[in-house]
Amino acid sequence: MKSIAAIILAAGKGTRMKSKLVKVMHPLAGAPLIEYPLSAAREASATQIVVVIGHQAEAVRDHFSGCGDISFALQEQQNGTGHAVACAAPLLQGFNGNVLILCGDVPLTKAETLRDLLQHHEERQATVTVLTASLENPFGYGRIIKNNAGEVTAIVEEKDATPEQRAINEINSGIYCVAAEFLFSAVSRLGSDNAQGEQYLTDIIRMAVEQDLSCAAHQIADPLEVMGINDRVQLAAAEAVLRQRINESQMLAGVTLRDPATTYLDRGTLIGRDTVIGPNVHISGQSEIGEDCLIEPGAIIRGCRIGNRVVVKAGSVLENSIVHDAVSIGPMAHLRPGTELLDEVKIGNFVETKKVIMGKGSKASHLTYLGDASVGSDVNIGCGTITCNYDGVSKHRTVIEDGVFVGSDVQFVAPVTIGNNSLIAAGTTVTEDVPPGSLAIGRCRQVNKEGWRKK
């Protein structure tokens, strides 16, 4: 096969999104819209990718910074799809393989569809192959005009079409495979004598036909694959399709989803075998979950790395945290960013952690706030413990060493260090370091006034 490059058209604003954000950067199952055609192109072996940017060019460029296979062509004014490709041409100078042309706002095209398109293009020895679909309602799309031999002879836009042409159901998806040399010479010669006064990429078909070069159509069965996103209704429809695809691939890979219809997994989420996910669970931000875990209903997990045999109980929220093996969390616990829980840690209900490392086997079973702390192994944190980490100006650390037993209702006024195997009596406000092996008790002595009620 010839080498493959891709041009992704993404200069348009997306007015119908009614958004401050350029259309192709709108998130869809955890990745901006434009990532979908881009990764489909990569999976179809495109080795060079040019993204044509215009509106909010910097936002798009920044998102892909550091991707060596992507370059950017700036199209300052959106003079049409043909003009957009012409803007990309200088970046592919000397390339003489096949060019895939994709739209940044068409997210559901599968890589295998692009591979079929490329294969069809080579088999037919075509100069241009258009990906087409047959739509019950083709309104708005360019129509595919064919001769008796089934070769494509033109694409006519809705606004330029005769009533006869408008009756054609086969539409232009806006996705093509084109021989590079022909493409770049053709787009350099495009006019704009049409209803929209734009340089139409679709005019390259007529130009190829004039040069006796062959143009083919490759029709796909599922029109969803070429659905473009113009507004937020279509964005939600595409998200539903993607979510179903993601969930099905997780299930086929050995993950139990008790209710796929309410399971929200981002693209790129990794989940190990025999993990069970309950209803209404949301997992996002490139999270990784190991094997044999149980994620109970209503859990929200963002940007976390979770080991094996972990239980996340109902209603817990985990953000940017690392959880090792056999940890139990929740119900209704909140791990905030920078939490790391080593093996067999137990975090119970209404416990909040932030920038905390907890050693093996340690427990905070109820109603606790641990922030900016390092907790050793086999530590018991009693109910109602609070690290007072903030003095109104800066944050301070609490260090609790191995084997410490913290009674209920204890406050640690940081910075403070609790030596190993010490015991903090219930109700103590700790303001000074505690040496290893000691008892720290800091509370008022109880006074009983007998007979007081009767008086």
Binding site for ligand UD1 (CB under 6 A): 9-12, 52, 75, 78-81, 83-84, 103-105, 141-142, 155, 157, 171-174, 200-202, 228
* Shortest separation between residue 173's beta carbon and ligand UD1, angstroms: 6
Q: Report how far residue 143's alpha carbon sits from residue 168's, in angstroms, rounded to the nearest whole number.
A: 6
Phi and psi for 194 in degrees, rounded to 5?
-155, 175
Length of the chain: 455
Helices (H), 127-231: 163-166, 180-187, 203-210
Q: Which is nearer to ligand UD1, 30 or 174 (CB)?
A: 174
| Distance set, CA 144 to CA 54, 113, 136, 187, 284 (Å) | 28, 19, 14, 19, 40
Helices (H), 170-308: 180-187, 203-210, 232-252
Nearest CA-CA partner of 356 in 337, 339, 368: 339
Q: Print burial letters for 215-232: b (CB count within 10 Å at least 16), e (below 16).
A: bbbbebeebebbbbbbee
Compute the radius of gyration of the chain from its Cα atoms.
Answer: 30
Q: Which is nearer to ligand UD1, 12 or 419 (CB)?
A: 12
* Shortest separation between residue 136's beta carbon and ligand UD1, angstroms: 15
Strands 340-341 and 380-381, by their bridges, are unpaired
Strands 416-418 and 398-400, by their bridges, are parallel
* Shortest separation between residue 161's beta carbon and ligand UD1, angstroms: 10
> Are the CB atoms for 102 and 33 separated by under 8 Å?
no
* Shortest separation between residue 355's beta carbon and ligand UD1, angstroms: 42
Helices (H), 64-194: 81-88, 111-123, 163-166, 180-187
Q: Report how far residue 109's alpha carbon sits from residue 99's, in angstroms, rounded to the nearest whole number.
A: 16
Q: Which is nearer to ligand UD1, 95 or 200 (CB)?
A: 200
Question: Which residue lies nearest ligand UD1, judged by its C-beta?
Answer: 142
Q: Is the dihedral of CA 231, 236, 240, 242 positive or negative?
A: positive
Q: Which is nearer to ligand UD1, 39 or 286 (CB)?
A: 39
* Shortest separation between residue 237's beta carbon and ligand UD1, angstroms: 15
- 372: amino acid identity, one letter: D
Q: Which is nearer to ligand UD1, 105 or 266 (CB)?
A: 105
* Shortest separation between residue 23's beta carbon and ligand UD1, angstroms: 7
* Shortest separation between residue 131's beta carbon and ligand UD1, angstroms: 10
Contacts 24+ apart (CB under 8 A), 159-166: 159/194, 159/195, 159/196, 160/194, 160/195, 166/138
> Are the CB atoms for 279 and 259 separated by under 8 Å?
yes
Greatest Cα pair distance, the chain, in angstroms, is 113
Q: Which of 63, 282, 366, 396 is catalytic?
A: 366
Q: Which is nearer to ligand UD1, 217 or 373 (CB)?
A: 217
Q: Give the position of tokens 């090792």.
A: 324
* Shortest separation between residue 185's beta carbon and ligand UD1, angstroms: 18
For residue 431 the two structure tokens come to 């303001």
Q: Which is nearer to ligand UD1, 142 or 359 (CB)?
A: 142
Q: Which is nearer to ligand UD1, 117 or 406 (CB)?
A: 117
Q: Report how far residue 412's alpha carbon sits from residue 391's, in angstroms, rounded to the nearest whole number.
A: 12
366 in catalytic set: yes
Q: Containing H/E element for 232?
A: helix 232-252
Q: Which residues are catalytic?
A: 366
